[in-house]
Amino acid sequence: MTGSGEGAFGGRVAVVTGGSRGMGREVVRALAARGADVVIASRKLGACEALAEEVRREHGVRALAVACNVSSWSDCDRLVEEAYAAFDRVDVLVNNAGLSPLYPSLAEVSEELFDKVIGVNLRGPFRLAAAIGTRMAAGDGGSIVNISSIEADRPGPHALPYAAAKAGLNALTEGFAAGFAPKVRVNTVQPGAFLTDISQAWTEETTERIARGVALGRCGEPEEIVEAVLYFAGPGSSYTTGATLRVDGGWR
């Protein structure tokens, strides 16, 4: 298997959380287009099933849809069991599911909101990486790709629990990279402002303000994250682990 072109992931199995929309959807479609069998996980089973049918039809790959709230430890365990029951292996895990609810002020961040953000952005990726990474290390190896955020390095008051969770995810990347070496590589893609589902809550003024702070003068489109994920997922990054790649348009 070489490169990231068509057929580059043939015979491989990839699990993508938050896989039914936004960045996750584009990653699923790209992996399937390159021959990977895919496990598409998100809270909404119907959306996962629709995408699974699409990639089966368009690319002839196998696809499994799984309803999973990654903040739930038991849901994560069930996702792992269903993936291995269906395919008997996982070669790539993309921890993409994310959540950053709006709140009126820092003092008004509720315990429920805080726990929910930590659960989706940190607890779930930990459990999935621990469970799948352990099996990868005992088998043929594999690659784990965590989707973090530029907020982890440059946190603002508007998304502080999210930033803290993503900073924790960056720490998990390095820890898991050491813990599962040499057979499993663990890396992070660190996006800036992307026009995904999260951005639908932004006002036009917010989007324009963010764009002014980016060297390229705009927010990213979901498909612009794909090549970075494919790089870490595939053999082109065979000597790279514990690394973080910023894909932020030149966030200033």
- Annotated catalytic sites, by residue? 148, 162, 166
Q: Which residue has the tokens 């090549």?
A: 227
63-67 sheet: strands from edge to edge: 63-67, 37-42, 13-17, 92-95, 142-147, 184-191, 244-247
Question: Distance (Å, rounded) from C-alpha 100 to C-alpha 233?
Answer: 25
Neighbours of 167 (CB within 10 A): 17
Question: Distance (Å, rounded) from C-alpha 20 to C-alpha 131?
Answer: 22
The helix/strand/coil state of 202 is coil
Q: Which two tokens stand for residue 209?
A: 């303000």
Question: Distance (Å, rounded) from C-alpha 125 to C-alpha 119?
Answer: 9
Given a contact cutoff of 8 angstroms between Cβ atoms, the answer to whether 48 and 64 are in contact is: no
Question: Distance (Å, rounded) from C-alpha 171 to C-alpha 67?
Answer: 27
**Angle ∠(91,93,96) on CA atoms, nearest 5:** 160
